[in-house]
Structure 1
Amino acid sequence: MTSSEAPGKAGTREWIGLAVIALPCVIYSMDLMVLNLAVPQLSEELKPSASQLLWIIDIYGFFVAGSLIIMGNLGDRIGRRKLLMIGALAFGAASVFAAFSTSAAMLIVARAVLGVAGATLAPSTLSLIRNMFHDPTERTTAIGIWVASYSVGGAVGPLFGGLLLEHFWWGSVFLVNVPIMILLLVLAPILLPEFRDPAATRLDIVSAALSLLAVLAVIYGLKQVAEYGVGWRPLLSVLVGIVLAYVFARRQRQLTDPLIDLTLFRRPAFSASLTVYMLGVLVAFGFFLFISQYLQLVLGMGPLEAGLWTAPSGLAFMLSSMLAPRFVRKLHPAYVMAGGLAVAAVACLLLSLVGSSYGLAVVMSGFVILSLGLAPVFTLATDFVVTSAPPERAGAAAAISETSAEVGGALGIALLGSIMTAIYRGAMSAAIPLDTPPDAAEAALGTLGGAVAVAKDLPAEIGATLLASARLAFTGALATTAVISAAIAAAAAVLAILMLRRVEPVAH
């Protein structure tokens, strides 16, 4: 196509193919949400420590984040459809492994394998959209649908997962992935075209290993600081991660075909969008875990009832992400993104009132408003990032975009979770009844799930006092974390305006 030709419109095949592309996105979101619902049952059966529980939740995001760069580049080289199918096969197999885990350590390993397999899905699907939809308006709409597919999984996942958990064991939530991945393997060769970079060189495995190790070292160190306090080992881990990241960046400048084209970060549309995207996801992912635990462990809901109460936020996210292309027809994308983040900050402040007598109403309304605010931010930030790179490097650009999202999500769970744990422990250390057995006191001090589990086996009066104290401590920790999240969302809104308001938006 020459520069004088208008971008071609997508046909029926592309739009049907988009529905196929959305399947792994739905599964990714479902897998995250249903695991959150399964945390109470999981905690009771596998009895993970506080550290193990955090690893079960966030190691998936760590390995996705660390593996995305290599997978995005691999898709550019071997074909994005081929990589999507390989990832779907691996994801389905790892889901079976996770479903039948018999220990916390085994489940952590299974989640790590799921993370590596999951890293093939997002860059493959997003880069296929970049190549299938050339018209700017259609592409933004397609990306909005792609983002909305995550909210579909977020809305359906709790309902379906809650239904499974009412009747089956916690591992059943992983088996949901298997039939959908089989469907993807059947439909992808029929409906999706293949794209690859014909001029690509061999993949630099050393760079990929450096990126993976850098992410894991930094996050591991931060988690250890939160878990055990400042010490030379966690600080050394963080320092090693930073050094590895520096070596990685130096290596990219020396390669003729780097995994990451560092010149992209000089473009405000690229670097600022990545930062805003990461901060928004950090806020969202942290609350996904906390709200589920609040509904089940504080308010005493069953998994299905909790899933029903969280469904409206997923529907709100889906609606708002679909409306993003309409918003930018009237306003500059920078102001749409800043407005969405401001709404998210207000929602977090509302969530800080969770300790009031209207706790359930506060949580549900705040969570819906949070979804309405963040959805356009995710759609437009993704559009900015993927259109900043040439089509033949769409896989690498999509990988960078999703890396920022996965790092944001993992940090949201790890950092906000660590803050929650520290506040919870501080409150519980002075609230545990003196005649509580040492083992039970240690479990209750670690997590709210641990307190709920041991309270059942204690004398009625002691168990009731311990449980009430744990619920009060968790609610107070959630309220404080919400205020911190509001400040993060407000800072991201300011960044969006300062860095993106002068960026020329793509015509819609």
Structure 2
Amino acid sequence: MTMTTTTLSTAQPAGRKAWFGLFTVLALVLLVAMDGSVLYLAMPRVTSSILPTADQALWILDIYGFVVGSLLITFGSVGDRYGRLRLMMAGAIIFGLGSLGVAYSTTPEAMIAFRALMGLGGATLLPSGLAIVSALFPDPRQRAQAIGIFAATFAAGFAIGPVIGGLLLQRFDWGVVFLINVPVVLAFLLAAPILLREVRAARYGRIDLPSLLLSFAGILLFTYSIKSAAAVGFTAPQVVMGIVGIAALALFIRRQTKIAFPLLDLSLFKDRIFSIAILTGLLSLVVWSAAGYLSGIYLQSVLGFEVFTAALLTLPGAVVLTATCVGTSRIVERIGRKAALVATHLLISAGVFLLLFTTTEAGAIAFVASTVIAGIGYGLSFSLVAEIAVSAVPPERAGAAGSIAETSNEIGNALGITLLGSLAALVFRLSGPGVAGTLNETLDHAEVAAEAVMQAKEAFLSGLHLAVGVGGLLTLLVGVVAWLWLPRKLPE
């Protein structure tokens, strides 16, 4: 199989082959996004099957997002040097193997390891896919349309992940939510050499290995420290790992200011528009992932809905989110970029605050209303953040800005479960019946008393309320800052 590097210098409209190539890439983009959220409704089934501890359950959920987020910028540089298509095909193979491993995992440790392997493959797919799609469409208008479809597909994947997971779990075991990745990966590997072109950057720098190791180790050690504290309390090893993680991240940030080709271009954050855009992308995914994960458990383990019913309840929010992504350009034309960015925060906070009205007896209506209102905010965020971030910097730095925007989404998706999920887990540990570390473990415990079941459900609900309350307040605060701090008219 030979791949030739193509340089597109004319701006002629792309033909049918380019559009088929776009849909080939979008199939993988959809999988990567879905696998960031597909476990939200499946976790009660996973917990009952392989019996993870509280911190292992959180690792199963967010190790994927942390690996993807930690390596996005690095693999962008690797693709520039060695070829985007070559890297994307290698990543697809790794992603498929990881999916197989997760589907047949019988222990929490194995599932965490294979989810990390999926993240390694997924980290190659997003930056490479976007570069390949851009190269397929030399005409600026067509390219903008294709990139918009790319962004909407990514957002739709996040939104429909829980729905697809719930529908599959109605008839099959939980492993099937990962087995569906395999035929899509195989189809991509067959079609990609025919429909896609190799893309390399004309100029690239060397990959700084110390920066890669410092960022990855810092994020994972800091995350482990938070999870461990929430699950079992403060211990000497947990505190040491937290300190080492913070130190590694500090060294990483310092190193980025000293080297010629940094993994993270910190100078971009001097622009307040760029900074607010990235913070919006990060925070919206923090709230979205935490609310999605905790609500999935609430619907099934507190209210007692079957997984299929829970999936149907998530559908209105998913539809609204996807429709908002598609219609964001029209919304921006009417109210302007600044108002749309501020509305993102206000809608998300208003939506998640509705979850505060849920009880152990009722809450389905509040949940649906929450996902619909917040879904408009999430849709605006997914569509606006990268566009505003890129337009805020000079054209020659657009690639770096886009990579940081993508990374903020993936890191936010994982941080939501780590920070807010761990906060909810801490509340459960302190106020629960003490039978087990999680609600599902408690409910599955043999001969648990009815009083303990009710106490466990109330403790979980208290943790959910605290987590979404904190997330809603943070989002509201950033919305106020954006309104006061940003100029009236943002650059196009």
Global fold match (TM > 0.5): yes
Q: Is the 8 A contact 2:286 2:417 kept in 1?
A: yes
Match of 2:457 among 451, 456, 471: 471
1:213 equivalenced with 2:217 (yes/no): yes
CA distance change for structure 1 residues 86 and 297 in 2, over 3 Å: closer, same or farther?
same
Q: Is the 8 A contact 2:303 2:361 kept in 1?
A: no
**C-alpha displacement at 1:216, in angstroms?**
1.4
1:491 equivalenced with 2:482 (yes/no): no
How do 1:392-403 and structure 2 match up within 5 A? Answer: 396-403=400-407
CA distance change for structure 1 residues 48 and 20 in 2, over 3 Å: closer, same or farther?
same
SS at match of 1:207: helix
Q: 2:435 maps to what in 1?
A: 442
Distance 1:217 1:402 in 2: 22
How do 1:255-270 and structure 2 match up within 5 A? Answer: 255-270=259-274
Match of 2:239 among 229, 232, 235: 235
Distance 1:273 1:134 in 2: 27
Match of 1:82 among 86, 96, 107: 86
Q: 2:100 maps to what in 1?
A: 96
CA distance change for structure 1 residues 266 and 208 in 2, over 3 Å: closer, same or farther?
same
Q: 2:276 maps to what in 1?
A: 272
Q: 1:482 maps to what in 2?
A: 468
**C-alpha displacement at 1:6, in angstroms?**
12
How do 1:299-318 and structure 2 match up within 5 A? Answer: 299-318=303-322
CA distance change for structure 1 residues 388 and 191 in 2, over 3 Å: closer, same or farther?
farther
Q: Is the 8 A contact 2:14 2:136 kept in 1?
A: yes
Partner amino acid, structure 1, of 2:297: Q
Q: 1:451 maps to what in 2?
A: 442
Q: Is the 8 A contact 2:303 2:360 kept in 1?
A: no
Partner amino acid, structure 2, of 1:216: L
Q: Is the 8 A contact 2:77 2:205 kept in 1?
A: no
Distance 1:234 1:357 in 2: 37
Q: 2:286 maps to what in 1?
A: 282
How do 1:402-441 and structure 2 match up within 5 A? Answer: 402-428=406-432, 432=433, 441=434
Partner amino acid, structure 1, of 2:242: V
Partner amino acid, structure 2, of 1:442: V
Partner amino acid, structure 1, of 2:203: A
| Cα deviation digits, residues 144-202 of structure 1 (max 9, x gap) | 43332234334544444334323332222110111111222223333333321122233
Partner amino acid, structure 2, of 1:328: V
Partner amino acid, structure 1, of 2:126: A
Q: 1:254 maps to what in 2?
A: 258
Match of 2:151 among 142, 147, 162: 147
Distance 1:21 1:499 in 2: 38
Q: 1:19 maps to what in 2?
A: 23
Q: Is the 8 A contact 2:313 2:364 kept in 1?
A: no
Distance 2:487 2:23 in 1: 33
TM-score (structure 1 length as normaliser):
0.87
Q: Is the 8 A contact 1:76 1:196 kept in 2?
A: yes
SS at match of 2:170: helix
1:43 equivalenced with 2:47 (yes/no): yes
CA distance change for structure 1 residues 125 and 397 in 2, over 3 Å: closer, same or farther?
farther
1:53 equivalenced with 2:57 (yes/no): yes
CA distance change for structure 1 residues 159 and 215 in 2, over 3 Å: closer, same or farther?
closer
Q: Is the 8 A contact 1:151 1:314 kept in 2?
A: no
Q: Is the 8 A contact 1:29 1:151 kept in 2?
A: yes
CA distance change for structure 1 residues 152 and 197 in 2, over 3 Å: closer, same or farther?
same
Which shifted more, 193-202 or 205-214? 193-202
CA distance change for structure 1 residues 149 and 283 in 2, over 3 Å: closer, same or farther?
same
Partner amino acid, structure 2, of 1:256: A
Distance 1:224 1:321 in 2: 37
SS at match of 1:36: coil
| Cα deviation digits, residues 324-382 of structure 1 (max 9, x gap) | 11122233312101112101111111111012865110011111211111211221111
Which sections of structure 1, spanning at least 5 residues, go unmatched? 433-440
SS at match of 1:35: coil
CA distance change for structure 1 residues 11 and 391 in 2, over 3 Å: closer, same or farther?
farther
Distance 1:28 1:163 in 2: 18
Distance 2:411 2:213 in 1: 16
- Count of aligned pairs: 484
How do 1:257-406 and structure 2 match up within 5 A? Answer: 257-355=261-359, 358-387=362-391, 396-406=400-410
SS at match of 2:365: helix
| Cα deviation digits, residues 207-240 of structure 1 (max 9, x gap) | 2122211211222222223233344433332332
Report the aligned-residue RMSD: 2.7
Which shifted more, 48-57 or 222-231? 222-231
**C-alpha displacement at 1:396, in angstroms?**
4.5
Which shifted more, 180-189 or 409-418? 180-189
Partner amino acid, structure 2, of 1:253: T
Distance 1:178 1:389 in 2: 39
CA distance change for structure 1 residues 250 and 349 in 2, over 3 Å: closer, same or farther?
closer
CA distance change for structure 1 residues 162 and 357 in 2, over 3 Å: closer, same or farther?
closer
How do 1:159-178 and structure 2 match up within 5 A? Answer: 159-178=163-182
Distance 1:132 1:53 in 2: 41
SS at match of 1:355: coil
SS at match of 1:278: helix
| Cα deviation digits, residues 364-406 of structure 1 (max 9, x gap) | 1111211111211221111123455677876644432222112
